[in-house]
Structure 1
């Protein structure tokens, strides 16, 4: 299964960055291509989410279950649409009081077919765009980075 890691430094406090990433229902407001994110259930530090993302004319629905370990990491498992399996881990490493290294590790398996063929080449680039979207969102919500 393909896997990769995307890293970016955000010049904001780790708990604040964690909270922005954990607020999944806001993703359609600022992440390109994110059409919908709805929490189906939540209990303690676990949640199940139904999501829809789109690339060009394709829109894929999938579900994930996440374990939130504030402020250190978020572990995600899921599938649906062109994804047979999705495993992601968001890590938040405090570098300085107002600098957080955000790391998103992703491993995935595609189901095949035309939708998967379209999704495969864009998966890493879209993940890079997601992480960059969080930098822009953090700057907008928490104040300009330094």
Structure 2
């Protein structure tokens, strides 16, 4: 199963990053692999289902997921919807840890398994690079929409440890 665990300090407020990641319908504007994305069902104030069309070269697949966006906990959880499309299993979490300087330690975990084995093998080979690329796209988009906070040279390692994270997970 392709998986990644990424941790990055981003110089934007946790609330701003939470808003950016939970606004899934805007993903096609800055993530080139997503050609379309729409919310298909609002389950509650914090839960909804969405459908994404992902295109890569000659491949085009539809993925359906259930999203729980808990702003109080600073966490967004994504899992395969009941009719998940091309996804066999999916677990994706985004946790936004506020740092003392006002910036955010973003902790992303993603595990995915696809129904089509050829796609699974293709994804497995490029998954780590793709996860970092997507993290970069979110950071660039945050820079376009939100003010910078915190000190550029701030050392977040001590706080990182308090969240149960390791410095070797930083990307």
Pair in the same fold by TM > 0.5: yes
Partner of 1:74 in structure 2? 76
- The 5 Å alignment of 1:16-31 reads 16-31=16-31
Unaligned runs of 5+ in 2: 153-171
Instruction: From 114, 121, 125, give the equivalent of 2:125.
Output: 121
* Counterparts in 2 of 1:59 and 1:22: CA distance versus 1, 3 Å: same
Contact residue 8 and residue 132 of structure 1 kept, 8 A = no
Instruction: From 108, 115, 125, give the equivalent of 2:112.
Output: 108
Report how far residue 115 of structure 1 moved.
Answer: 2.7
Report how far residue 144 of structure 1 moved.
Answer: 5.0
Unaligned runs of 5+ in 1: none
Question: Does the alignment pair 1:98 with 2:99?
Answer: no
Stretches (4+) displaced over 3 A: 143-146
Q: Separation in 2 of the partners of 1:36 and 1:97?
A: 36
Aligned-CA RMSD value: 1.7
Question: Does the alignment pair 1:35 with 2:35?
Answer: yes
Report how far residue 59 of structure 1 moved.
Answer: 1.5
Deviation per residue, 1:72-91 (Å, 9 max, x gap): 1001101322x311111111
Structure 1 or 2: more strand by fraction: 1
Instruction: From 128, 133, 142, give the equivalent of 2:146.
Output: 142
For the residue of structure 1 that corresponds to 2:55, the secondary structure is: strand
Q: Separation in 2 of the partners of 1:25 and 1:101?
A: 24
- TM, length-normalised to structure 1: 0.89
For the residue of structure 2 that corresponds to 1:96, the secondary structure is: coil
For the residue of structure 1 that corresponds to 2:27, the secondary structure is: helix
Q: Separation in 2 of the partners of 1:5 and 1:54?
A: 23
Partner of 2:161 in structure 1? none
- TM, length-normalised to structure 2: 0.77
Report how far residue 34 of structure 1 moved.
Answer: 1.3
Q: Separation in 1 of the partners of 2:54 and 2:9?
A: 25
Contact residue 12 and residue 148 of structure 2 kept, 8 A = no
For the residue of structure 1 that corresponds to 2:29, the secondary structure is: helix
